[in-house]
A = this chain, B = another copy of it.
């Protein structure tokens, strides 16, 4: 029963059971044309020998098994697990396997991508498009970018915040907000610039508060502290995302401000986290299931040739009003 060479192969099982390799293959794969007694005998021998079919041999010879690479920036940031859960679900429904690549796990820049390139048929998720080291590492691996910026060289899923922002501005106005602030690492660009623009257009002058680039919670706490010292009269804070919004709420609690009476707080993403904190967070939520479905379907479509490699989909955010406003 002991093996000479490193691996137990189908040949070993065949020899030990006194049958051909094909018969072992039939037994292992539950195929029809095999005697029930033979199958049991072969399976018993296989178990005894600790035989496990090589996924490489199987993949080469048989029907391709497809693998989706999921690239995330940081699993410790609760946004990404929610996305990962949705992607895993969709991939499982489609019969695809998911290999995980967490940028924070990389021992050197983009090192995590090398594994994806070797293991996945197509990848989905987050990627720093500006960094040529990153895109070079892909070596032609098709990539479906989530939260795709307009300038991206890849296709993917774009996020549309416009409608939800309009709703949020109207909502805050109706709540009597007069002095809103936006808090982000770079409050003058991207979605926060849009936000500020809309608030201004609605007659609400906006304070922009920059936050440090790091742990979003800590950044949110620090940012409100600074904000409150320079503008003690703010009555609403729009944070870049839910995580930073939670930091903002922590900072407001610490400063003795009542939410939502003194200050109203709005986040972006729609994380479950927002329902756990007190008060529950009003947010511009995105439907992760829809994002995952679109991304995975694009990815599979690219592999199957039914989608253009750079196809784009769009998912809308939606205002979810909870207790923080």
Could you tell me the distance in whole angstroms from the C-beta of A24 to the nearest C-beta in chain B? 14
Most buried by B among A56, A59, A140: A56
Which residue from B54, B55, B67, B107 sits with its C-beta under 8 Å from A92? Answer: B107
Listed stretches A12-20, A149-157, A268-276, A310-318; interface member: A268-276
Which residue from B59, B74, B119 sits with its C-beta under 8 Å from A65? Answer: B119
A81 within 8 A of B: yes
A178 to B265, CA, bound (A): 38
Residues A75 and B84 in contact, CB atoms below 8 Å apart: yes
Residues B81 and A75 in contact, CB atoms below 8 Å apart: yes
A247 to B99, CA, bound (A): 32
A204 within 8 A of B: no
Residues B65 and A76 in contact, CB atoms below 8 Å apart: no
Which residue from B47, B55, B70, B249 sits with its C-beta under 8 Å from A119? Answer: B55
Interface flags for A127-150 (1: CB within 8 Å of B; 0: not) read: 000000000000111000000000
A188 within 8 A of B: no
A33 within 8 A of B: no
- Known A78-B78, A92-B105, A277-B278; judge A100-B140 contact (CB<8 A): no
A60 within 8 A of B: yes
A57 within 8 A of B: yes
- Known A92-B107, A105-B88, A277-B278; judge A119-B97 contact (CB<8 A): yes
A169 within 8 A of B: no
Listed stretches A34-42, A110-118, A190-198, A227-235; interface member: A110-118
- Known A76-B85, A98-B99, A100-B70; judge A52-B141 contact (CB<8 A): yes
Which residue from B50, B60, B104, B276 sits with its C-beta under 8 Å from A56? Answer: B60
List 7 A-B pairs, Cβ < 8 Å. A56-B58, A57-B60, A59-B59, A67-B99, A75-B82, A97-B119, A247-B276
Given contacts A70-B100, A276-B277, 16 further A-B contacts (CB under 8 A): A51-B140, A52-B139, A52-B141, A54-B60, A55-B56, A56-B59, A65-B118, A67-B119, A76-B85, A78-B273, A84-B100, A99-B99, A217-B276, A246-B276, A249-B278, A273-B276
Interfacial residues, chain A to chain B (CB-CB below 8 A): 47, 50-52, 54-60, 65, 67, 70, 74-76, 78, 80-82, 84-85, 88-89, 91-93, 97-100, 102, 104-107, 111-112, 115, 118-119, 139-141, 217, 246-247, 249-250, 253, 272-273, 275-278
Closest 6 interchain pairs by CB? Answer: A56-B59, A81-B81, A75-B85, A92-B105, A56-B60, A88-B105
